Amino acid sequence: MANAAAAPQDGLDQTAADTGLDSVVVRFAGDSGDGMQLTGGQFTLSTALAGNDLATFPDFPAEIRAPQGTLFGVSAFQINFGSRAIHTAGDAPDVLVAMNPAALKTNLAALKPGGLVIADTGAFTKRNLDKAKYDSNPLEDGSLAKFDLLAFDISEKTIEAVKPFGLGNKDALRSKNMWTLGLALWMFDRPREPIHDWLKSKFAKAPDIADANIAALDAGHAYGETAELSGPQGNVFRQLHVDPVESEPGLYRTVTGAEAVSLGLVAGAQLAELPMFFGGYPITPASAILHHLARLKEFGVTTFQAEDEIAAVCAAIGASYAGQLGVTSSSGPGIALKTEAIGLGIMTELPLVIVNSQRGGPSTGLPTKTEQSDLYQAVYGRNGDAPMPVIAARSPSDAFEVAIEACRIAVEYMTPVMLLTDGYIANAAEPWKVPDPADFAPFPAKFLDTPNAKDADGGDTFLPYQRDEKGARPWVKPGTPGLLHRIGGIEKHETTGNIDYSPDNHQRMTDLRKAKVENIAVPDQQVALGEKTGTLAVVGWGSTYGPIHQAVRRSIAKGCSVSHIHVRHIWPLPGNLGELLEGFDHVLVPEMNTGQFKTVLRDQFLVDATPLTKTSGQPFQIAELEAAIAKYFDGIEGNEGGQVLANDQQLPSVEASNP
Amino acid sequence: MNAPAKFETTLKDWETDQEVRWCPGCGDYAILKAVQRTLPQLGADPAKTVFISGIGCSSRFPYYMESYGFHTIHGRAPAVATGVKLANPELDIWLVTGDGDGLSIGGNHLMHVLRRNVNMQIMLFNNEIYGLTKGQASPTSREGTRSPSSPLGSVDHPAKPAAFALGAGARFVGRGFDVSKHLPDVLKAAHAHQGAAFIEIFQNCIVYNKDVFDDFAAPKGAEDRQLWLEDGKPMLFAGDKKGIALDRDALELKVVDVADGNWEAAGVLVHDVTKRQVAHMLVDMPFGPFPMALGVLYDDPRPTFESAVIAEREQASAGKEANLAKLLAKGQTWTVSGTAQDPV
């Protein structure tokens, strides 16, 4: 993850160093219509501009507008920012902003003891308390005694602030999130200007609305600045400054995984010198990639919203056949539908990039929650022996490089490639050191336009399945004179490509397809943190990078002989990985599934990999990984690793999912 | 016409070295020959011609055409073809499908390729049976069709391919049958049409549904049972002794007798290929009381999907620079240089 920094600022009451904090976790929670994702997103931007490294975790319901005030309609956005490198969205929040009783109820369990609750008393009405199943008002009945509480009527203050703009009460209350954001910006000493600019451009066509929102934002900020805010325990709340983090020089921006994948695909197509064809079908959480690419037509990108997932991948295969870089994207259920066509891509040996933004499964599962449970599907999930390269992004910014790598493998080896991200990576944002496209080696696609073989009489002839040194067949654009040929899903002769069901030929073709994928050049596996040998290797893949890295860092600091290995190339695996794992007494594999990568490692290397599994739809917490690692160092036999039980520190609380 | 440049070829030039593997006597042979005979007349360039098919007997077609060809997966040929056409609009695409491939497993894709109006010729070989899987009833099988999967006779209502196509928004609907000498004319009209041109070709499955179309396709008495439609010509059949007229009270078609060649007096309609409402009545005309409507039933082009996509892309790109470095650095950024940093 990239780091970010900014100039220190003067006039602060208190710094994070004074309070012993090097990072702060803030969670905004409200009704799904309250604009919490927006508030969180803008707070993220301001935080990045203030020079803090950060990670975010948007957590929202599957329903677009769940009934107002209900427990299952709560939408939350968590951000962890600090003066050190941040790798996760943080475990327990230090500050919880609760816009209504339901938001308080579903998120309070996650708050650190002694943490700060900011609540809008205007929303704690009898009706809302009933909907959240509160018998009495928690702001008044003393049940929040172990927390710091700042409760005031945000609704009323917002209405006052926007009064000059003549909005009705209902419209005025829409600016409540901006008022709250203003207060948060003051508390953490974030700049307001970027939000002003953003509001002006967002509401360029309705300057009144922009002004009203700016007024609400400024009012929230001013309230923090001028009011003597005092919690029930008498602690005067004062402005908190978190120092900027030291980081590599360069140009920075924030990026979400969906943006990074889109940009990486555009970069990959440019490096391959190909126009890109993207076939997509709306599905959570993958649609954002389609949305981003639809706005990049000047980069030679054609986006096609197909009638279904199958048509989306088939159109991409058609475009690859015609000489473009075909790309499709979906999440687990959609990938299942695309499976037969992916087999066609493997059989016809055409380039194709398939992005899977994984979500909780099986079936419809948990559309807005995160999981890593499509690894078997990616590696093994097709009829017949259908080998396909699989690579996984570990963070939003990493997704850029991984997307380029997927394009490279697809074009150089004439094969479909699956790129795995997940709901967490797709939605989360982090600072990103803007890469220079010139730093990436081009891999221009080669199209055959002359015969590639000699016939028995020494004359020129064309063999559509004659392979190069990489095992790849030639790519011929339809329209090329003299190289007419037919391809299809039926087994074909190993050079001519003509239909051939003969036993020897099928044996050879199966072997050739397998060898081609297995021999893909994959960089050697590096150790992300720690020594190259030791007691314990914690092996992860995908979005578990952040929590594993922090947990291993803390464990090393405690003196444990533990290393973090994070695998990008899931299939084929790096050639040195087996040997690397042999250098450790134990191998622990934390995954947000029931142990899928563990199976692959055991199968490929006969290594005694222990699974550490979690399928609550929520990312791992650092603390739970740290605890699992500690078990290897307490000397108690048979107490290593194992399953992580869902606990009340996870997000959201159980009540949110089961009201 | 998809490719304006004329290219000199003969029927032989369109034959591949592959052994044709349809059953002896299959209607597919006649269709293959009709297509191979038509392409030289169109001046088609084999290198720019692509046959794309799904799965089934009909879908083996590309292997027998000396052009580019893609034998895809069951029902999905329209989606693959859409990607090919969007990637290279200069290619002349012929889609080959069947009643099972196009109307059962691939019904959704067929509907969407037609309503999007992607420029290609879509030949649906309708033999009212699943041939390659050995004779099960298909979505176009007539009620009561006995087959291995419907030993007591099928009970579901058949789909009408031409009516389906028109309902899906097709701007060209043609009909012919395998051994008809008029089939090349229908193919030529379809090729001349800019957009998705749907052609239903009745095809005799000699093994599993032998002679099922004889009721109208058999040479004997054909003129009484076939209505060959021509643009601008009266809808006459049975040696011009009968015609199709509009029952204005019931708003439906009717068969009228024509005395002494005076079709106007009998109220016989003049075929206008651009009349969508009449086309709806023609594709739905029940065979038996009426003859089988054949030829070009409807032909009224409108802008194609790929032209709209290209126009939109050009418009969206106009005046914009495809600078990746700038794209990556888009939005609000900040720089870090040594220890002093300034928001940008």
The reply to whether omega before B158 is within 30° of 0 (cis) is no
Q: What is the value of pTM for the model shown?
A: 0.89
Contact A499 B63 (CB under 8 A): yes
Mean pLDDT, each 10-residue run in order, chain A (659 residues): 38 40 83 84 83 81 76 88 80 90 92 89 94 94 88 91 87 89 85 88 88 93 73 42 76 92 98 98 94 96 98 98 98 98 98 97 92 97 98 96 98 98 91 94 98 94 97 98 97 96 97 98 97 98 94 93 98 98 98 97 97 91 92 73 59 44
The residue of A47, A307, A308, A352 whose CB has the most chain B CBs within 10 angstroms, and thus the best one to mutate to test that interface, is: A307
Answer whether A267 sits within 8 Å of B76, measured CB to CB. Answer: no
Tell me whether residues B341 and A5 touch, CB distance under 8 A.
Answer: yes
- Beta bridge partners of residue A25, listed in sequence order: A80
What is the gyration radius of the CA atoms in chain B, in angstroms? 24
Cβ of A302 within 8 Å of Cβ of B325? The answer is: no
Of A263, A306, A322, the CB nearest to B84: A322
Name residue B139's amino acid. P
State the distance between the two ends of chain B, measured CA to CA, in whole angstroms.
55
* pLDDT for the residue numbered A617: 87
- Cα separation of B256 and B263, whole Å? 9
CA distance A490 to chain B (A): 8
Chain A residues 97-136 with CB within 8 Å of chain B? none
Taking contacts as CB-CB distances below 8 angstroms, the residues of chain A near B46 are: 484
When pLDDT is cut at 50, 70 and 90, the band that residue B335 belongs to is confident
Whether A163 and chain B come into contact, CB under 8 Å, resolves to no
Task: Write out the H or E segment, with its range, that includes residue A430.
Answer: strand A429-433
Name residue, tokens 């699943």: B130
Q: Is the Cβ of B327 closer than 8 Å to some Cβ of chain A?
A: yes
Chain A residues in contact with B52 by the CB 8 A cut-off are 318
- Tokens encoding A40: 């969180």
Question: For residue A211, which amino acid is it?
Answer: D
Cis bond upstream, residue A572 (ω within 30): yes
A304 at the B interface (CB within 8 A)? yes
Between CA B193 and CA B205, with CA B199 as vertex, the angle to 5 degrees is 155
* From A3, A244, A315, residue closest to B82, measured CB to CB: A315
Interface probe, candidates B95, B330, B332, B339, chain A, greatest A C-beta count within 10 A: B332
Query: Residue A53: beta bridge partners?
Result: A82
Where residue A485 falls (left for φ over 0; alpha for ψ -120 to 50; beta otherwise) is: beta
Q: Tell me, what's the pLDDT at A18? A: 41
CA dihedral A223, A227, A233, A235 (to 10 degrees): 100
- Give the residue from chain A lying closest to B53, CA to CA: A488
* pLDDT band at B195; cut points 50, 70, 90: very high
Distance between CA A522 and CA A391 in Å, rounded? 10
Residues 339..378 of A with a Cβ closer than 8 Å to B: which?
Answer: 340-341, 343-344, 348
Mean pLDDT of chain B: 95
Count of other CB atoms within 10 angstroms of residue A85: 20
Please tell me which of the candidates A3, A321, A341 has its beta carbon nearest to residue B70.
A321
How would you classify the pairing of strands A562-567 and A460-461?
unpaired
In chain B, positions 280-319, which contact chain A (CB-CB < 8 Å)?
Answer: 309, 312-313, 316-317
Window A:199-218, CB contacts with B under 8 Å: none
Contact B86 A4 (CB under 8 A): no
Instruction: Mark yes or no for CB contact B337/A249 under 8 Å.
Output: yes
Cα angle for residues B186, B259, B250 (degrees, 5° grid)? 70
Quick one: how many helices (H) and strands (E) in chain A? 22, 22
Closest to A93 (Cα-Cα) out of A108, A71, A73: A108
The answer to whether A593 touches A392, Cβ cutoff 8 Å, is no
Minimum CA–CA partner of B311 in chain A: A297
- Tokens 């992607």 — which residue? B118
Nearest-CA distance A96 → chain B (Å): 27
Residue A243's pLDDT is: 73
Q: Do B87 and A275 touch (CB under 8 A)?
A: yes
Task: Give the mutation candidate from B76, B111, B112 for the A interface (greatest A CB count, under 10 A).
Answer: B76
> Nearest 5°: CA angle at A378, between A374 and A380?
110
Give contacts of A 305-334 with B, CB under 8 A.
306-308, 310-312, 314-324, 326
**Chain-chain contact of B79 with A306 (C-beta, under 8 angstroms):** yes
Residues 36-95 of B with CB under 8 A from A: 46-48, 50-52, 62-63, 65-74, 76, 78-88, 90-91
Distance from CA of B105 to the nearest CA of A (A): 12
Q: What is the per-residue pLDDT for A244?
A: 73
Backbone angles phi, psi at A140, to 5 degrees: -115, -20
Q: Is the minimum CB–CB distance between B344 and chain A shorter than 8 Å?
A: yes
Phi, psi of B294 (to 5 degrees): -130, 165
What's the whole-number mean pLDDT along residues B94-110?
A: 98
> CB distance B336–A45 less than 8 Å?
no
Q: Which letter, b or e, does each residue of A89-123 get, where b requires 16 or more Cβ atoms within 10 Å of its Cβ?
A: bbbbbbbbbbbbbbbbbbbbbbbbeebbbbbbebb
Q: What ipTM, to 2 d.p.?
A: 0.96
Helix H, strand E, coil C: the string for chain B is CCCCCCCCCCHHHHECCCCCCCCCCCHHHHHHHHHHHHHHHHCCCHHHEEEEECCCCHHHHHHHECCEEEECCCCCHHHHHHHHHHHCCCCEEEEEEEHHHHHHHCHHHHHHHHHHCCCEEEEEEECCEECCCCCEECCCCCCCCCECCECCCCCCCCCCHHHHHHHHCCCEEEEEECCCCCHHHHHHHHHHCCCEEEEEEECCECCCECCCCHHHHCCCCHHHHEEEECCCCECEECCCCEEEEEECCCCEEEEEECCCCCCCCCCECECCCCCHHHHHHHHCCCECCECEEEEEEEECCCCCHHHHHHHHHHHHHCCCCCCHHHHHCCCCEEEEECCEEEEC
Cα–Cα distance for residue pair B143/A107, rounded to 1 Å: 61
What residues 97-156 of chain B have any CB closer than 8 A to a CB of chain A?
108-109, 111-112
Identify which of B173, B162, B189 has the alpha carbon closest to the alpha carbon of residue B287: B162
Suggest the residue from B95, B312, B324, B330 to mutate for an interface test with chain A (most A CBs closer than 10 A).
B324
- From the list B125, B30, B44, the residue with the least C-alpha distance to B77 is B125
Contact A323 B69 (CB under 8 A): no
Q: Do A246 and B344 touch (CB under 8 A)?
A: no
Residue identified by tokens 């990607």 is B83
* A197 contacts in chain B (CB < 8 Å): 332
Selecting from A4, A300, A344 the residue whose C-beta is nearest the C-beta of B336 gives A4
Distance from CA of B67 to the nearest CA of A (A): 5
CB of B5 less than 8 A from some CB of A: no
Residue of B83, B90, B111 lying closest to A314 (CB–CB): B83
A-B contacts at Cβ under 8 angstroms: 220
Residues in chain A within 8 Å Cβ distance of B16: 486
Q: Please say whether the beta carbons of B303 and B322 come within 8 A.
A: no
> How does strand B226-229 pair with strand B292-299?
parallel
Q: Which residue of B has its CA nearest to A485?
A: B68
Q: Which single residue is written with the structure tokens 């259908």?
A: A386
Pairwise CA distance, residues A213 & A216, whole Å: 5
Token couple for B104: 């059962």
3-state secondary structure of A211: helix
Q: What is the DSSP letter of A72?
A: G
Distance to chain B for A319, nearest Cα, Å: 5
Q: Contact B109/A315, CB-based, under 8 Å?
A: no
State residue B212's pLDDT score: 96
Predicted local distance difference test score (pLDDT) of residue A643: 64
- In the 8-state DSSP scheme, what is residue A395? S
> What's residue A595's pLDDT?
97
pLDDT > 70? residue B4: no
Please check whether residue A296 touches B, CB under 8 A.
yes
**Residue linked to tokens 């893909």:** A520
Tens of pLDDT, residues B133-179 = 999 999 999 999 999 999 999 999 999 999 999 999 999 999 999 99
Q: How many residues does chain A have?
A: 659
- What's the pLDDT at A361? 93
